[in-house]
Amino acid sequence: MKKIIAFAGSNSSTSINHKFVSFAALQIKNHDVNVIRLTDFELPMFSEDIEKETGFPVNLEKLNQVISEADAVIVSVNEYNSGVSGFFKNTTDWLSRINRDFLKDKKVLLLSTSPGGRGAMTALEFTKNVFPRFGADITDSFSFPKFYENFSSEENKIIEETLADDFNEVLQNFVRQLEA
């Protein structure tokens, strides 16, 4: 049984990326999947001055520990103005300072969603290009467009059949690679 940590890059209390990553986590059986919120690990805006003056924030040490104990990571990346959110970028900036290879030897599944037709694809591509620098072994990625049209929050399921099939294939590939 593998230990998987799952989270969204958003700091919104109504995050659709949190809903999406939580949905993904529920689909994985026979593994220990823990969904967290990055907002539970509040961090100041990264600054070398803060790092020099006060060291690493306690919440950063806690988050780094949670990630280090996991075998795999699922992240659903949100997008603001065709980029990752400042909140998510700040979190990864801090993590890379405390441990440059904070994703080393971790299988990583990257997800993204948005209300629009591109499904936060630009932020997803950015993350796919950056995470290997931190040691991530990205198994796959999936961009989910038009969240409110294609996902039923009431039923907690993907309602567009082709997207549901494609998502299930990506998720099964992730699990297969974990078990290999």
Residues of the chain with pLDDT under 70: none
Sketch out the chain's domains with CATH numbers: 3-179 (3.40.50.360)
In this structure, the number of other CB atoms found within 10 A of the CB of residue 28 comes to 20
Residue 143, pLDDT score: 98
Residue 124, pLDDT score: 98
Find the length of the chain.
180
pTM exceeds 0.95, yes or no: yes
Residue 165, pLDDT score: 98
Residue 44, pLDDT score: 97
Residue 136, pLDDT score: 98
Residue 180, pLDDT score: 87
In this structure, the number of other CB atoms found within 10 A of the CB of residue 175 comes to 20
List b or e across 154-168, with b for residues whose CB sees 16 or more CB atoms inside 10 angstroms: eeeebeeeebeeebe
Decide the pairing of beta strands 79-80 and 83-84. Answer: antiparallel
Query: Is-contact 48 86, C-beta < 8 A?
Result: no
